[in-house]
Amino acid sequence: MLRGSIIVFSGILSVVFLKRKLYLFHWIGILTTTFGLAAVGVSSIFSSGGESGSSAASNNGAGKATLGVVLVIVAQFFSAVQMIVQEIFLKKRSFPALQIVGSEGVWGIILMVFYVLPICFFIPGKQYGSYENSINAFVMIWNNVCSLAIQHSTFRAIINTSLSLSLSLSLTLSHSLSLSLSLTLS
């Protein structure tokens, strides 16, 4: 339910960065959403105290619920920032939509491979001594024929989709270019 906070953040950020004017009904919707989010967040924190009645278990459950609420709200803030940046690139900078999506994918891969996976590898955990052992995951995929085939077909599907989209875009651009050239020559 806290994922609705993206409405609040994207509304406020669109006023600040896109200079968009929100009308009274927009602000009433944002305010109503804020009250609903506060009610959901507070109820999840207070209801996570536990049934056991012990004070330590109650504080631990409330602390975890508070951390969860804060993390969801922070995640929704960053999603709203992403939406605003996308709109700036699409409308004000006139970037093609496929270029924006492709750039997001490339940056996501770079962040995952060079930052998130190494950080998760060095966090202590139950998976061979680390929280997420990526090396062990690749070894398990390589040693299992079924999972290797699934990974290979998924990778091929992604490659084929990307190639077909880029081919159709280039054909559309070359067609429009040849049409504009034929119109200027005639």
pLDDT of amino acid 98 = 76
Model pTM? 0.64
Tell me the H-state helices in the chain.
Answer: 5-17, 24-47, 55-87, 97-111, 117-122, 134-143, 145-185
Residue closest to 72 by CA, chosen among 6, 139, 116: 6
CA angle 117, 120, 122 (to 5 degrees): 115
Quote the pLDDT of residue 122.
87
- Give the model confidence (pLDDT) of 118-136 as tens digits: 888 888 888 778 888 888 8
With a cut of 70, list the residues of the chain below it in pLDDT: 49-59, 165-186
28-42 residue pLDDT tens: 999 999 999 999 989
